Structure 1
Amino acid sequence: MADKKGLLVVLSGFSGAGKGTIMKHLLNKYPGMYNLSISATTRSKRVGEEDGREYFFKTREEFDRMVANGEFLEHATFNGNSYGTPKAYVQKLLDEGKDVILEIEVNGALQVRKIFPEALLLFVTPPSAVELKNRLVGRGTESAEVVVQRLAISSKESLLMPQYDYLVINDKIEDSVERVHSIIQSAHYSTKRNTEQIAELQEELKAFSKGEIK
C-alpha cells in the first residue's frame, strides 16, 4: 500500500558530521533510487561544469527575480554568491514518483519545512561532541580558531535538532547509509502519506460489510 508519490528528504548536520560522505555512499549503493536536487546559483560556471548538471547557473537579476516570485524552496548567500533550490524542478521529480534529497544547512531545511510540511527531515550527528571535535581537528584543513568557530555554530544548530524528524547517529558510514535508506523507505508506508489508499480500503470494507460486494 506504499504511496507512489516521490518523497522530499532533507539531510542536514553539523560540519564534520559526515553527511556528504553518507550521501555519496547512499547514491552509489542504491543507483537510480534517489535523486539529488540541483541548486540554482549566481556564481560563475567553472571549467567542466554544465548548466543543469552541477547547477542551474543564473545571473543576479534572474536569481533575484526567482526569489521575488517565490520560486525557491530555500535560498541563501555564501561568500557573495547566492544558492537556492528551485521549487518547480523538485516538484517535477516528485510528481514522477522520484525521491529527492536535499543536502542543505539547518536554516534552509526549516525554510523547506514551511513550504513542504510533508518533507522528511534527517539530522546527521556524530555519537558525541568530543567525536565531532576530533573529526574537525582530524581533517587537518582548518586552524584551531576555525574549529572553535565551527563548534560554536554547531552549538547553535543543535538547538534546532528537535524540529527534525529523525536523528542519524553517524558512527560507521555503512551503518549510517543503511539507517538513512531504511528511514526513507519506511516513510513511504506512513499513514499520513497513504490517506487515499486507506480511504479506498475503508470504502471497500464498508461495501463488503453491507453485502454490496461479494
Structure 2
Amino acid sequence: MRDPAKQKAMAGPRPVVMSGPSGAGKSTLLKKLLTEFEGVFGFSVSHTTRSPRPGEEEGKDYHYVTREVMKAAIANGEFIENAEFSGNMYGTSKAAVQAVQAKNLICILDIDMQGVKNIKRTDLNPIYVSIQPPSMEILEKRLRDRKTESEESLQKRLHAAKVDMEISKEPGLFDVVITNDDLDVAYGKLKDAVLEEIQKVRDAHKS
C-alpha cells in the first residue's frame, strides 16, 4: 500500500525547481514565463523565523513561525528544503507546495544548490532547471552594474556563483542547464522544459 502522504505530494502538476546564481537572469526569464502563461504558475509561501517587515503579510509574503516550531516541523519531515541566513531560518514546506498543486497550478521554486540536493531526497518529482551565466566575467559585470551592494557582499555572491556553476555540471542533477547568453534563446529552452506541464494545466482548466 502506498503511503497516503506520498500520494498527496504527487498530486497535481509537477513543480519546477529553478536554480542558479544571482545575476544569471532567473527573475527576467520567470517574468517572461509568467507573462506569456498567465494563470498557469503559482508560488509557494515560504516559512521563516524572522519577524515580519513593515507591509508584509502572514500567509502572503511568508509564514512566520518560531525557531522551535520550525525545527520540530523539519525534524518531522514536513519541509522539502530549509536553510539559515543571517541568523534566521527559511524553508519550503511540503504543504505549501501542495497548496499550489491543489489549485492545479505549476509551483515555481527558486532554490539554491543546497536546497536542490535536499529536494532530490524527497518524493516531490519536480522538473529541475539550472540558469547559468555565460561566464564569471559577464556575471561580475551584471552584478556590478546593479550597484546594489558592497564589495564584500559582491565577492561573497561571486564565490557562491563559482561554486554553483561547478555543481550544476554534475551529471543528472538538473533536467536542463540553460546558459543565459541570449535572453530569447534561453527563454525558448526554459519554455521547452516546462511545456508539457503547461499543456496539462491548460487542458485541465478547459475540462
The two structures have a TM-score, normalised by structure 2, of 0.80
Equivalent position SS for 2:108: strand
Larger Rg: 1
Query: Structure 1 residue 171 and structure 2 residue 178: aligned?
Result: no
Q: CA deviation at 1:159?
A: 2.5
Q: CA deviation at 1:35?
A: 0.7
Aligned residue number for residue 108 of structure 2: 101
Aligned residue number for residue 83 of structure 1: 90
Trace 1:12-161 onto structure 2 (pairs within 5 A): 12-116=19-123, 118-161=125-168
Q: For the residues of structure 1 that align with 2:55 and 2:158, how far apart are their CA atoms?
A: 34
Equivalent position SS for 1:159: helix
Q: CA deviation at 1:107?
A: 0.5
CA-based RMSD: 2.2
Q: CA deviation at 1:74?
A: 0.3
Query: Structure 1 residue 180 and structure 2 residue 190: aligned?
Result: yes
Q: Is the 8 A contact 2:20 2:130 kept in 1?
A: yes
Deviations 1:37-94 (A, max 9, x none): 1101111112222111111111222212211211100001101111110102212433
- What amino acid sits opposite 1:165 in the alignment? D
Q: Is the 8 A contact 2:132 2:165 kept in 1?
A: no
The two structures have a TM-score, normalised by structure 1, of 0.77
Deviates more, 1:178-187 or 1:78-87: 178-187
% same residue = 35
Equivalent position SS for 1:111: helix
Equivalent position SS for 2:121: helix
Counterparts in 2 of 1:141 and 1:7: CA distance versus 1, 3 Å? same
Q: Is the 8 A contact 1:6 1:96 kept in 2?
A: no
Q: For the residues of structure 2 that align with 1:72 and 1:86, how far apart are their CA atoms?
A: 4
Deviates more, 1:69-78 or 1:165-174: 165-174
Q: CA deviation at 1:27?
A: 2.0
Counterparts in 2 of 1:21 and 1:142: CA distance versus 1, 3 Å? same
Q: Is the 8 A contact 1:5 1:94 kept in 2?
A: yes
Q: CA deviation at 1:172?
A: 4.1
Q: For the residues of structure 1 that align with 2:139 and 2:182, how far apart are their CA atoms?
A: 13
Deviations 1:182-202 (A, max 9, x none): 21113679xxxxxxxxxxxxx
Deviates more, 1:100-109 or 1:57-66: 57-66
